[in-house]
Structure 1
Amino acid sequence: MVISPSHLKHSFEIIVNNFLLLVATPAMALVLLRKAAQLGPDEILSGLHGLRQVHVLLAVFLPFALATLYLMSRSRSVYYSCCRPNSNCRVSIGSATENARFSLDDGGHQFMARMLKRSGLGDQTYVHPSLHYIPPGCTLSEGRDEAEQVIFAAVDDLLAKTGIRPEAIDILVTNCTAFNPTPSLADIVVNRYKLRADIRSVHISGMGCSAGVISLEVARNLLQAAPRAARALMVSTEFTSLINYTGKNRAMLLPAALFRMGAAAVLLSTSRSRSRFRLQHIVRTVTAAQDRAYRCAYQEEDDVGGMGINLSKELVAVAGDALQANIVAIGSVVLPPSEKLLFALSFVARKVFNKKIKLYVPDFRTAFQHFCIHCGGRAVIDAVQTSLRLSAENIEPSRMTLHRFGNTSSSSLWYELAYIEAKRRMRKGDRVWMVGFGSGFKCNSAVWQCITSASNTDIGTPWADSIHMYPLNISEVS
């Protein structure tokens, strides 16, 4: 019989991860038995009678009370909903390429055609109708119209699914990077749904594609200070009509090839009622102190005053560095002891014996059943898959979301979660790792645990009309 390395590692994981059960528990039982044998029955009973009632009460009640308080304070995602824009907003790769031919010079058109072909996007993504015109209509009114379309569609669907009345919402957190009108997007939502005058509303701007996780943390922290069973509505979105660029700077043309229309609405609560997911951890990493990271996604004017977002060639490398720092932080709280031990041993070997020894890359599949990696682009997804040693199925939600909806910025992670649920892969107890990247540069993670798997009524937009076509072989359809 041949023992493979995978079998050896599996045995190692069982022994290390269950060390307390296999070693410490029998040892403790042996110590207690020896102590009992030395004292005798009479001495043991005498000691028990000598305990005060207050000691017994504290020993029983205090741990129970602390555990109850901890469970009550944890945020739970009651429901979430993603917008599927109207069919008149769809844009194919061919249409986007043709529009670029009339909007850009010859060099810009050829560059855009190459980027669209390699982007990993399909022919069913969405942009606002103003971008279908030649030249595109990028005005404030068009931006407001796009905002209202996607935000209202996501929130309407969420309220319909949950049956929650707007006046029952206590906290509102919205986020968008490029479009920040006055009144704010939070005020637009308050006005539309006639939310209460005492609602705690916050709008987050300029934080890039990872702003969705930041909004989660803000909503969670506000819930901790709110009364029991309070509800927080979080809305994540980005707008395509104001980041469109038609100049000659190639790096500033990239966002138009990747970003698409979309939004997600999430309802959080500290109540157990109808909860779908439990928010377990949020870990944020900011590398803006480094100039290279700070300028890798930078909004600026080109030589002739055209406004756009400049994506540096170092973006993927910067994202990799931020991810590495983030996984070190999150690995310490989610990885099983066996993976931590292997990493520690490789670290010691590298320091003591040979600096050329590679650090062990923990297998995060031992901690998570599902992965939602921000679909910022094909190169970003490839880099994350390689660095984390993920399988094609692990990374499938990211690739398919990029193909179907494009990069919808901070809302993309929720489209990926919706993909997993539409494929009926989510089970009670499963853990999900959301990883978002954003300008600054930031890498933010959120860890969820499934409390209740999705019912038939939960599987609706945005994948209802297309999930049967996925997964696709992107290399063949791009």
Structure 2
Amino acid sequence: MPAAPLPEFSRSVKLKYVKLGYQYLVNNFLTFLLVPAMATVALELVRLGPDEILAKWRSLNLDLVEILASALLIVFAATVYFMSRPRPVFLVDYACFKPPCYCRVPSASFMEHIRLLNLDDPKSVQFQTRILERSGLGEETYLPPANHFIPPNPTMEASRAEAQLVIFSAIDDLIRKTGLKPKDIDILVVNCSLFSPTPSLSAMIVNKYKLRSNIRSFNLSGMGCSAGLISIDLARDLLQVHPNSNALVISTEIITPNFYPGKQRSMLLPNCLFRMGAAAILLSNRRREARRAKYRLVHVVRTHKGADDRAYLCVYEEEDPQGHSGISLSKDLMAIAGEALKSNITTIGPLVLPVSEQLLFFFTLVGRKLINPKWKPYIPDFKLAFEHFCIHAGGRAVIDELQKNLQLSPEHVEASRMTLHRFGNTSSSSLWYELNYIESKGRMRRGDRVWQIGFGSGFKCNSAVWKCNRTIKTPVDGPWADCIHRYPVDIPEVVKF
């Protein structure tokens, strides 16, 4: 009789469980080493008995001076260790601006507005129509009142009015939620990329809330959609050197002065994607805030590719041939964003990934260098490091690309897609609308880890890692309160108008 064929390995063994076993073995390697050693020591102590153990202790001939010196050395080392440790930074709470209903701009209204503004240029209308049809934006996004005029009214007064509306509303909500008093704010960081008036937005806040004269205030501009995480990083650094302090971080983008009225296609994209939004975040290094704080900041990793001319110019504010100012988006934007992301995850990977994933990445890298350069690079499984992902809702293409590159499931990018659909691209504040979506769905549990990823002009890719301090109750207010029951929604590839 002919011998029975050997079963195919891939069918007889579940490779998924082989990988799980490998991960468990590597990630608990020290435990597997320590447990037998500790068991051996315990058995030896039991075998010796108390009398022999006491005799061995007395044979050491330690006098009182040596014991005291040893104790003092231990206390000194422990003191140095605890004093040199970075202060924990807690996210006490945050608030996202919910625009009023009169700012709502349905797609039909937006396109009618574009047609009236471009009566002599049907090609620009067709181009923006195609962009909006594929953008992933829904029917309930918002534009400031000045942009509802035909033509828009981008005056300094209107821009300040939008800034006051979005920023003061977010701060008022945060004060109501936390009981924060203006005099308790020690540090103020505001980021708004394209609107930088004098006095600054940070001065506007100081004036409105009568903040202390010795407050440390900062106003960041021109840093793009990833500036929200830059603000978090700056606030964290300040909280390391100023004990017992509270930091208020404001992330927003003012839309009023930035509507592009020209015909350059690379500059028309922002008109279709950017919408109103703002977030106010309260950070603190006070120990007493740890109990009620929602999250603890674990890592911030910043990547700047500005030394490369292609990266520097891919998001660029300039004037078109007709003299209209706007933001030009390069065709290389997604490729440059991918390169920035690779640099960023190379840095953040060793900080967050389990040892098993780091070893697989290292061995694959060595194999590509020494054995076969055609080997596919190993993409670490970041789902083992994080339970939740907040990817900047810059556009459908950005979310698609990161989902593909990081091998994420539809649920992992759900918060980003739904935020883009409901609120559009709100620039640096989009990450907080996404975090609020996760909370509003009741998915945030104690110990969960959140990865926020932001992209911005320059070109920059920034990451922040948070750990949830407590199980978050489903919010009864906030930007998602009146519509979360309708989400997630199906978003077609193309929505015809």
CA contact (8 A) 1:36 1:44 kept: no
Unmatched runs of 5 consecutive residues or more in structure 2: 1-10
Flag the 1:195–1:466 CA change in 2: closer, same or farther, 3 A. Answer: same
- Pick one of 454, 469, 477 that aligns with 2:486: 469
1:186 is matched with which residue: 202, 207, 213?
A: 202
Counterparts of 2:478 and 2:408, CA distance in 1: 27
- CA distance in 2: counterparts of 1:402 and 1:286, whole angstroms: 25
Are 2:258 and 1:243 equivalent residues in the alignment?
Answer: yes
Residues 336-393 of structure 1, C-alpha deviation per residue, up to 9 Å, x if partnerless? 0010011011111111111010111000010000000001100010000000000000
CA-based RMSD: 2.1
| Residues 259 and 271, structure 2, Cα contact 8 Å, conserved in 1 | yes
CA distance 1:92–1:13, shift in 2 (3 Å): same
Letter in 2 for 1:405: F
Query: In structure 1, what is the equivalent of residue 405 of structure 2?
Result: 387
Q: Partner letter of residue 70 of structure 1?
A: R
Query: Residue 421 of structure 1 contacts residue 459 of structure 1 at CA under 8 Å; is this kept in 2?
Result: no
Match of 1:82 in 2: 96
Q: Is the 8 A contact 2:446 2:472 kept in 1?
A: no
Number of residue equivalences: 475
Match of residue 143, structure 2, among 119, 127, 140? 127
- How far apart in 2 are the matches of 1:314 and 1:77? 36
Amino acid at match of 1:328: T
Match of 1:23 in 2: 33
Does residue 357 in structure 1 map to residue 370 in structure 2? Answer: no
- Residue identity opposite 1:295 in structure 2: L
CA offsets, 1:113-161, max 9 Å, x none? 1101100000101100111111111111111111011001100000000
Aligned residue for 1:126, secondary structure, equals coil
User: TM-score, normalising length from structure 2?
Assistant: 0.91
- Distance in structure 1 (CA, Å) of the matches to 2:409 and 2:39: 43
Identity in percent: 53
89-98 or 19-28, which deviates more: 19-28
AA aligned opposite 2:277: G
**Cα drift, residue 68 of structure 1:** 7.3
Aligned to 2:280: 265
Whole-angstrom CA distance in 2 between matches of 1:33 and 1:291: 66
Query: Do residues 12 (structure 1) and 22 (structure 2) align?
Result: yes
Aligned equivalent of 1:154? 170
Pairing of 1:401-416 with structure 2 (within 5 A):
401-416=419-434
Find the counterpart in structure 2 of residue 70 from structure 1. Answer: 85
Are residues 346 and 261 of structure 1, via their aligned partners in 2, closer, same or farther at CA, if it must alter by over 3 Å? same
Residue 49 (structure 1) shift: 3.9
Aligned pairs (5 A) from 1:419-430:
419-430=437-448
Matching residue of 1:93: 107
Separation (CA, whole Å) in 1 of partners of 2:363 and 2:155: 57
SS in 1 for 2:108: helix
- Over 3 Å counting, the alpha-carbon distance change for 1:287 and 1:35 in structure 2 is farther
3-state SS of 1:298 partner? strand
Gaps in structure 1 of 5+ consecutive residues: none
Name which of 378, 386, 392 aligns with 1:374: 392
**AA of the residue aligned to 1:14:** Y
SS of equivalent residue, structure 2 residue 258: coil
SS where residue 307 of structure 2 aligns?
A: coil
Deviation at 1:65, TM superposition (A): 6.7
CA distance in 1, matches of 2:179, 2:485: 28
1-structure distance, mates of 2:128, 2:61: 80
Distance verdict in 2 for CA 1:18–1:48, change over 3 Å:
farther
Q: Secondary structure at the match of 2:129?
A: helix
1:208 equivalenced with 2:224 (yes/no)? yes
In 1, the alpha carbon distance for the partners of 2:330 and 2:399 equals 17
- Normalization by structure 1: what TM-score? 0.95
Structure whose CA Rg is larger: 2
Which of the numbers 9, 13, 17 marks the counterpart of 1:3? 13
Query: Which residue pairs with 1:452 in the alignment?
Result: 470
**What is the letter of the counterpart of residue 254 of structure 2?**
F
1:332 match: secondary structure: helix
Structure 2 equivalent of residue 43 of structure 1: 56
| C-alpha distance in structure 1 between counterparts of 2:42 and 2:343, whole Å | 44
1:102 aligned to 2:116? Answer: yes
Query: Which position in structure 2 is the counterpart of 1:225?
Result: 241
Provide the secondary structure at the position in 1 that maps to 2:59.
Answer: helix
**Distance apart, 1:32 and its partner CA:** 8.9
Give 1:167's match in structure 2, choosing from 183, 196, 219: 183
Shift of 1:27: 3.9
One-letter identity of the residue aligned with 1:391 = S
Q: Partner letter of residue 319 of structure 1?
A: A
1:398 partner amino acid:
S
What's the offset of the Cα at 1:94? 1.1
Rounded to whole Å, the distance in 2 between the matches of 1:24 and 1:368 is 27
Q: In the aligned structure 2, how far is the partner of 1:152 from the partner of 1:288?
A: 33
Q: Aligned partners of 1:56, 1:2: CA distance in 2, in Å?
A: 59
For residues 26 and 60 of structure 1, do their structure 2 counterparts lie closer, same or farther at Cα, with a shift above 3 Å needed?
A: farther
For 1:13 and 1:459, the matched residues in 2 are separated by 40
Cα 1:473–1:58, aligned 2, differ >3 Å: closer, same or farther? farther
Q: Within the alignment, does 1:337 sit opposite 2:350 as a pair?
A: no
